[in-house]
Amino acid sequence: MSTSPLPRTSRRSLDALLLGLPLLVACGETKKKEAETEEEEDDDKPKKKNKKKKDEEAKASAKPSATAAPTQQPTAKASEPAAPKKPAGPPALAAGQWVRYEKADPEKATTEYRIIQVDNDGTVTLEVDESAVGAKSTTELVLGLSDRTSTDAMVVKKCRVKTNTGVVTVPESGVRTSMIRMLRDLRLPSFEGDKQEDVTVRAGTFNGCLVRAIEEDILGSKLKATAYYHDSVPINGFVKYEGKLDKAKATKELVAFGLTGAKAQF
């Protein structure tokens, strides 16, 4: 069977169609991709919208509410200042304790007290060194000191004095007159009271000293002074006094002390 050739115009149309077919296919693929992309974007829109909404909610929850009351921060309770510790009194008398004092007014003199022995019945053996201008002596006192509230309560059992000329035994009556100042130094004041001060002397600084006003007659002269006591000082707790002896300035202070180390000189 023979086929008749296509007319020239139809052949040209077929050729054009064949030439344009790849372009149409390409355009179709492009539109298909664009449609798929649009579908993906349409699918992502709810996700993005939900994510944006969640982000906005998170930010809103992070911001303080305008109506919420501010959180009260705990405040540190101010600690009340501790009440000053009241002195309890000096250590109990024990062998080896010693204290050394110096008077600068009205005349310079040095006095040292040493505890040599303490018996169970309250009997105490002590020595007192005194050094003034042109004179030195050592006194041995054996005393009953179970009560030291006053000089009258002290029992004088024995007393002797050593100078550069020898040793002299002194009767009790002589001790209570010529050596009354030693007995007064051995008195133990009441450590009750609220008035306290810090005091610095040559022996150191003593915080919270008990303050006492004293008035005494010393061999016909009247001492009126302010005295300071501290419970770390052995024998009598005395640290310092300053005032007047009659009309002259009077001072006495602790220059050294120890809880051990005292040795007998007799």
Range of the domain at 252: 98-258
Dihedral sign, CA of 236, 239, 259, 91?
Answer: positive
Distance of CA 156 to the CA centre of its chain: 45
Token pair listed for 128: 């007192």
**Residue 60 covered by a domain:** no
Please indicate, yes or no, if residue 119 is contained in any of the structural domains. Answer: yes
- Domain membership of residue 110 (yes or no) is yes
From residue 40, alpha-carbon distances to 28, 29, 43 in Å are 18, 16, 5
Residue 219 lies in a domain: yes
Residue 124 lies in a domain: yes
Phi and psi (nearest 5°) for 195? -80, 120
Confidence of residue 155 (pLDDT cuts 50, 70, 90): very high
Count Cβ atoms below 10 Å from residue 184 Cβ, excluding itself.
16
Whether residue 144 lies inside any domain: the answer is yes
pLDDT by residue (tens digit) across 38-83?
Answer: 655 555 555 555 666 666 655 555 444 444 444 454 454 555 555 5
Region at 237 (left for phi over 0; alpha for psi -120 to 50; beta for the rest)? left
Residues contacting residue 136 through CB under 8 Å, at least 6 positions apart: 129, 130, 163, 164
Q: What is the mean pLDDT of residues 83-107?
A: 85
Structure confidence by residue, pLDDT tens digits, 163-198: 999 999 999 889 988 888 899 999 998 887 778 999
CATH code, 170: 2.40.360
- Is residue 228 in some structural domain? yes
Q: How many domains does the chain have?
A: 1
Please check whether residue 70 lies inside any domain of the structure.
Answer: no
How far does Cα 51 stand from its chain's mean position?
60
Judge if pTM exceeds 0.85: no
